[in-house]
Amino acid sequence: MFLLGHSCWSYLFSKATGRKLNVNLPAYLALLSGILPDFDIYFQPYLVHHTYTHSLIVIIPIVLVLTYFFGRLGFAFSIGILSHLLGDFLVGTIPLLYPFYPNSDVGLNLGIPSLADTALEIGAFGLVLLYAYRNGDYKLVLKPTRDGLLLAIPLFALVTLTLLFAGDRSIPLAEFAFSRRALTIITLGHILLSGILVLGVLQGFRWYLGNRRARPTTSVDASSAQPLGVWDSLGHGCHSPLFHDEERQEERGSEGRGAVNKARIDEENRQEAAGFIFEKRESHRRLNNGAKTKSLNPWSVKR
């Protein structure tokens, strides 16, 4: 099976497993898990392709370790890895017990490329689009998110593994990709999937840039930011009592210091802090009402 089928199958299997187990496996991991066994291509010629990484002798301990350390998430991810073996088993064979039994290849050998393989790959791709629409993962290509940026990982793997595989076997990729009808369809599927991932990564970059720009002001929360706008329009720079403390210290610096001024400053700060907290509560109440959220929040007060 090609990488298109592997990543789509693993997405479907691992996502469905995660859903059953009440964990949300991120899309980039769901797509990546199914291509992992073909990572042996990165290590050629030291690691022969389609040997260790396609054997249950190696994969089962990896599944156990992932499940032990990452629990349900690790298990859902492992199902994605195992789906690779199933895919290769259907269209070809897998060395099930390699290296203990090097000739233990088993599989239905439906053929690659073949009509069955094309149907399995394109069918899975279609189902992924449908499933991503239903579970909300389609938003990764529409909105700036961190997970969008992480789609660069399966995208990188898809592109580099294809190039390395073709390079290693001296396959003229462009010619091979469109040499038969089945291959043309699968190639178009690869291009489409890669294009979708590129869109997700671009949205991820938008998230990254927005996040970087927003970082210096993240210490100002939404509740204090709201009245700040009005406050600013009245000519005040900052709403913080701490800031005002410095301001007042400066103002009164020339008037003569002493305990009386200090007490006045403290009293003003105390009153302003009380007002500040009240405004915070008010703005939170407004925000909560607006969002129709019933959840408890630390600022909510009974009146």
**Quick one: 88 or 121, whose CB is closer to Zn ion?**
88
**Quick one: 27 or 90, whose CB is closer to Zn ion?**
90
Q: Which stretch binds Zn ion (CB under 5 A): 14-22, 30-38, 108-116, 214-222?
A: 30-38
User: Per-residue b/e over 250-260, b at no fewer than 16 CB within 10 Å?
Assistant: eebeeeeeeee
Q: What is the closest distance, in whole angstroms, from the C-beta atom of residue 64 to Zn ion in the complex?
A: 21
**Do the Cβ atoms of 242 and 224 come closer than 8 Å?**
no
Please name every residue paired with 95 in a beta bridge, in sequence order, or none if there are none: 105
Q: Which stretch binds Zn ion (CB under 5 A): 86-94, 102-110, 163-171, 279-287?
A: 86-94
Q: Which stretch binds Zn ion (CB under 5 A): 37-45, 95-103, 133-141, 152-160?
A: 37-45
Binding flag, residue 117, Zn ion (CB under 5 A): no
Q: What is the closest distance, in whole angstroms, from the C-beta atom of residue 165 to Zn ion in the complex?
A: 10
Q: What is the closest distance, in whole angstroms, from the C-beta atom of residue 17 to Zn ion in the complex?
A: 20
The candidate with the shortest Cα–Cα distance to 7, out of 176, 129, 137, 121, is 121
Q: What is the closest distance, in whole angstroms, from the C-beta atom of residue 37 to Zn ion in the complex?
A: 5
Q: Which stretch binds Zn ion (CB under 5 A): 85-93, 107-115, 173-181, 295-303?
A: 85-93
Please name every residue paired with 94 in a beta bridge, in sequence order, or none if there are none: 106
Q: What is the closest distance, in whole angstroms, from the C-beta atom of residue 38 to Zn ion in the complex?
A: 5
Q: What is the closest distance, in whole angstroms, from the C-beta atom of residue 4 to Zn ion in the complex?
A: 13
**Quick one: 21 or 62, whose CB is closer to Zn ion?**
62
Q: Which stretch binds Zn ion (CB under 5 A): 28-36, 38-46, 201-209, 243-251?
A: 38-46
**Quick one: 88 or 117, whose CB is closer to Zn ion?**
88
**Quick one: 33 or 203, whose CB is closer to Zn ion?**
33
**Quick one: 38 or 117, whose CB is closer to Zn ion?**
38
Binding flag, residue 40, Zn ion (CB under 5 A): no
Binding flag, residue 88, Zn ion (CB under 5 A): yes
**Do the Cβ atoms of 155 and 149 come closer than 8 Å?**
no
**Do the Cβ atoms of 32 and 154 come closer than 8 Å?**
yes
Q: What is the closest distance, in whole angstroms, from the C-beta atom of residue 50 to Zn ion in the complex?
A: 6
**Quick one: 162 or 223, whose CB is closer to Zn ion?**
162
**Do the Cβ atoms of 200 and 140 come closer than 8 Å?**
yes
**Quick one: 125 or 203, whose CB is closer to Zn ion?**
125
Q: What is the closest distance, in whole angstroms, from the C-beta atom of residue 157 to Zn ion in the complex?
A: 13
Q: Which stretch binds Zn ion (CB under 5 A): 13-21, 80-88, 166-174, 227-235?
A: 80-88
- Residues interacting with Zn ion, by CB under 5 A? 38, 88
